């Protein structure tokens, strides 16, 4: 992952991430070991962003088939505009998708912010020019965000309008779209919030660089004792999240102009972004994300924690929803704290599995990683249109969901490759290796610089 999700990768640039190991003597066994561990961590994280984009696409593909959905589609121009979360509602449902989407909603976006921060500090340290760094980031994140607002979202939401429209014409759609009291951005809210956090990172580098180094040193024991780091991170997250959830509820979103914001989560994302900055500053191979560390070795334990905390959060959330506005304060606080625990344990499990089994380069997963940002940028068009096209089909929900998912993966992948072949596309989503490029050699000791973007 790189500092900007480019789905946690930097498609515009060609500089690569490397955490210097000045303490080791070049050519020494210690240097070779550090280089090997650094390479393994980098390959695992590169593979992780390939898997992450598959999960993101699955999450959006399955939303139309949740068992908990209402009986019909949501009107396009009537408040509270619930189609922002559920653009298409199909009559075929499966409750298993509710469980999957609930789990991903707890940890996935938080994990993306964390991973996006890992290489930001090394990049700032190498460049030593925060102004230039920010200009580059505004181009890499700001331009795609504007493109998504102007092109992607209007294309993606036309089927949403057609489902409940009296007049399905393009002219009527344009009129209703422009009459909305906000500018729909769908999943692209991640881009502007990540850009905001990147500005924060540059400010820290300029005015308080030692603070990030201190955060990094706090992660030094995570190599052998990830549980200590876990509880510290979860506690900070709970302190950031729970008061906001009590004040605004866990579900409230606001959109002013083009900026979508879930009120309860911005400070929570800040906590994880700062944690990512610190780990990146300390060195990937020396702490939590070491491929031979306890996080990777004990990933089944983290799976148990993740599932247990998820079900606790789901149970408490169900009770809170049953009480409604009369929900006791202690129950609401319990929901917030259990969310923080479920979020941290879900992310730790996911990273642990990738560090344990994802340290070898893969042609397919590597290609997904290299194309992840473009797939994120374009996928919503295909998700919504495919869900809309299957509304009248008498298929089981699982069959529909798999068809939408498979079609979205393939079409967004191909679109990303096609867009890169035009000059504007290279500016929009960068230049990466082709899908059909040869896989890199399978060597554990390849330098980290071959796989990770700065």
Model confidence at 4: pLDDT above 90: no
- C-alpha distances out from residue 380 to 13, 133, 137, 406, Å: 25, 29, 23, 13
Residue 378 falls inside a structural domain:
yes
pLDDT band at 393 (very low <50, low <70, confident <90, very high): very high
Residue 23 falls inside a structural domain:
no
Q: What is the model's pLDDT at position 199? A: 96
Residue 31 falls inside a structural domain:
no
Q: Which residue has the tokens 């050699």?
A: 441
Burial classification of residue 209, based on how many CB atoms lie within 10 Å of its CB (0-12 exposed, 13-18 middle, 19 or more buried): middle
Residue 85 falls inside a structural domain:
yes
308: domain range? 50-356+371-423
Greater pLDDT, 24 or 372: 372
Classify residue 150 as left (phi > 0), alpha (psi -120 to 50) or beta.
alpha
Q: What is the model's pLDDT at position 221? A: 86
Mean pLDDT of 186-215: 94
Model confidence at 22: pLDDT above 60: no
Model confidence at 402: pLDDT above 90: yes
CA distance 335 to 102: 14
Mean per-residue pLDDT of the chain: 87
In 10 A of CB 203, how many CB atoms?
Answer: 12
pLDDT band at 302 (very low <50, low <70, confident <90, very high): very high
Considering the entire predicted model, what is its pTM?
A: 0.87
Q: How many domains does the chain have?
A: 1
Yes or no: say if 435 and 364 are a contact pair by the CB < 8 Å rule.
Answer: no
Greater pLDDT, 444 or 212: 212
Q: What is the model's pLDDT at position 42? A: 86
What are the residue ranges of helices labelled H in 129-265? 130-137, 143-147, 153-164, 170-179, 189-207, 209-218, 226-248
Residue 44 falls inside a structural domain:
no
Mean pLDDT of 75-103: 95
Give the up-direction half-sphere exposure of residue 286: CA atoms within 13 A in the CB hemisphere: 18
Model confidence at 7: pLDDT above 60: no
What values do phi and psi take at 262, rounded to 5? -90, 110
Residue 301 falls inside a structural domain:
yes
Residue 444 falls inside a structural domain:
no
Model confidence at 371: pLDDT above 50: yes
Residue 4 falls inside a structural domain:
no
Yes or no: say if 198 and 134 are a contact pair by the CB < 8 Å rule.
Answer: yes
Model confidence at 306: pLDDT above 50: yes
């Amino acid at each position: 992952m790189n500092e900007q999700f480019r789905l946690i990768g930097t498609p515009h640039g060609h500089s690569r991430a490397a955490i210097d190991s000045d303490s080791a003597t070049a050519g020494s066994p210690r240097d070779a070991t550090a280089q090997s561990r650094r390479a393994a961590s980098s390959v695992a994280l590169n593979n992780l962003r390939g898997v992450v984009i598959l999960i993101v696409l699955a999450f959006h593909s399955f939303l139309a088939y949740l068992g908990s959905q209402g009986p019909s589609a949501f009107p396009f121009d009537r408040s509270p505009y619930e189609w922002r979360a559920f653009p298409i509602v199909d009559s075929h449902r499966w409750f298993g998708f509710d469980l999957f989407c609930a789990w991903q909603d707890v940890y996935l976006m938080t994990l993306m912010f964390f991973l996006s921060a890992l290489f930001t500090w090394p990049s700032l340290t190498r460049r030593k020019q925060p102004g230039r760094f920010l200009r580059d980031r505004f181009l890499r994140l700001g331009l795609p965000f504007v493109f998504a607002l102007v092109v992607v979202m209007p294309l993606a939401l036309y089927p949403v309008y057609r489902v409940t429209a009296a007049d399905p014409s393009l002219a009527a759609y344009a009129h209703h779209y422009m009459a909305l009291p906000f500018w729909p951005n769908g999943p692209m809210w991640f881009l502007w919030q990540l850009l905001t956090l990147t500005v924060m990172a540059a400010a820290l580098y300029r005015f308080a660089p030692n603070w990030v180094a201190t955060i990094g040193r706090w992660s030094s024991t995570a190599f052998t004792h990830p549980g200590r780091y876990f509880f510290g991170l979860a506690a900070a997250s709970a302190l950031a999240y729970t008061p906001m959830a009590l004040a605004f509820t866990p579900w409230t979103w606001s959109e002013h102009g083009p900026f979508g914001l879930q009120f309860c989560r911005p400070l929570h994302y800040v906590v994880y972004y700062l944690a990512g900055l610190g780990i990146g500053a300390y060195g990937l191979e020396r702490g939590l994300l070491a491929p031979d560390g306890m996080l990777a070795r004990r990933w089944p334990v983290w799976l148990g924690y993740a599932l247990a905390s998820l079900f606790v959060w789901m149970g408490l959330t169900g009770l809170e929803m049953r009480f409604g506005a009369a929900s006791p304060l202690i129950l609401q606080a319990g929901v917030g704290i259990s969310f923080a625990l479920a979020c941290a344990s879900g992310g730790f499990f996911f990273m642990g599995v990738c560090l344990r089994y994802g340290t070898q380069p893969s042609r397919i997963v590597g290609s997904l990683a290299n194309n992840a940002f473009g797939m994120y940028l374009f996928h919503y068009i295909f998700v919504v249109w495919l869900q809309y096209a299957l509304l009248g089909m008498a298929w089981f929900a699982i069959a529909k969901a798999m068809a939408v998912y498979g079609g979205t993966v393939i079409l967004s992948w191909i679109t990303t490759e096609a867009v890169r072949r035009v000059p504007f596309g290279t500016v929009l989503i960068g230049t990466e290796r082709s899908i059909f490029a040869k896989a890199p050699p399978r060597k554990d000791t390849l330098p980290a610089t071959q796989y990770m973007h700065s």
